[in-house]
Amino acid sequence: MLDKPSKWRSAVLGGIAIGLVSGIPVISLVNCCCCAGILGGGVLTYYLYQKEHAEGMVPLESSDALIVGIMAGLVGAFVQAVVHGILMVLFAGVSQDLMRNLFEKLIDRMEQSGSIPSGTVDQLREQIESSMKESNTMWGLMVNLFTSLIIYPIFSMLGGLLGYGIFKPKKPQQMQPTPTAPQ
């Protein structure tokens, strides 16, 4: 039997997806919904991995899903830090103004639609302002990377395991023995 496909390709692709979803402002808000971006990235990673699996190879197991999920989470943490760093260096002032405007519009829309209570709006503005200030320093970037290296692999691993549950090959149903005709 042939060996299983290499995990690196799918882990890197899944990690890039996790890093982009988590690193690009506004899109990263997806992670506020139960870490959906990272969990989804884990599922995507396992999907890509099992697509590389061909007939005649050693069958995939849940341990492969767990490992490929962790790998994607680690790659995702670094990609997210790099994306964040690039945005910080390239668009330091511009991106802050752009982000502030975007968030302001988003908050106004949410306030008008009643999605967030008016008492929360000021608090949300403060939170965004302080996190923008903190994250746009080298120290903030390092702390960001450190927390990501702990949290992303955990949730990506869970995503990988769920992906295994979703995409694992169905066992062929056992055929009922056909009754033989009496002679």
Partner 1 sequence: MNLSRRIYAVLLISTGLWCLAIVLTPILRVVGGEAGATMANACYRGFSRICHQLDERSLHLLGAKFGVCIRCTAIYFSFFFGVIVYPFVRSLRTKETPDMRWLFAAIAPMVLDALFNDLGIFRSGELSRVITGSVGGFVLAFFIVPLFIDAITQILIHRTSQGETHYAGQTQ
- Does residue 110 touch partner 1 according to CB under 8 A? yes
Taking the complex as a whole, the smallest distance from the CB of residue 23 to partner 1 amounts, in Å, to 12
- Rule CB under 8 A: which of 111-150 touch partner 1? 112-117, 119-120, 123-124, 127, 131, 143, 147-148, 150
For 33-122, list the strands marked E by DSSP: none
Residues 69-108 that bind partner 1 (CB under 8 A): none
Binding mask 162-181 for partner 1 (x = CB under 8 A): x-xxx---------------
The smaller minimum CB distance to partner 1, of residues 92 and 143, is found at 143
Q: ∠ CA(78), CA(161), CA(44), 5° rounding?
A: 55
CB of 130 to partner 1, least distance (A): 11
Closest CA to 87 of 22, 41, 15: 22
Which candidate, 62, 67, 65, places its Cα nearest to that of 46?
Answer: 65
Residues 34, 43: contact at Cβ < 8 Å? Answer: no
Fill in the per-residue mask, 35 to 74: x = in contact with partner 1 (CB under 8 A), - = not in contact.
x--x----------------------xxx-xxx-------
Count of CA atoms in the C-beta half-sphere (13 A) of 73: 28
Closest CA to 157 of 71, 44, 52, 53: 71
Structure tokens at 133: 């200030």
The residue ranges that bind partner 1 (CB under 8 A) are 29, 31-35, 38, 61-63, 65-67, 109-110, 112-117, 119-120, 123-124, 127, 131, 143, 147-148, 150-151, 155, 158, 161-162, 164-166
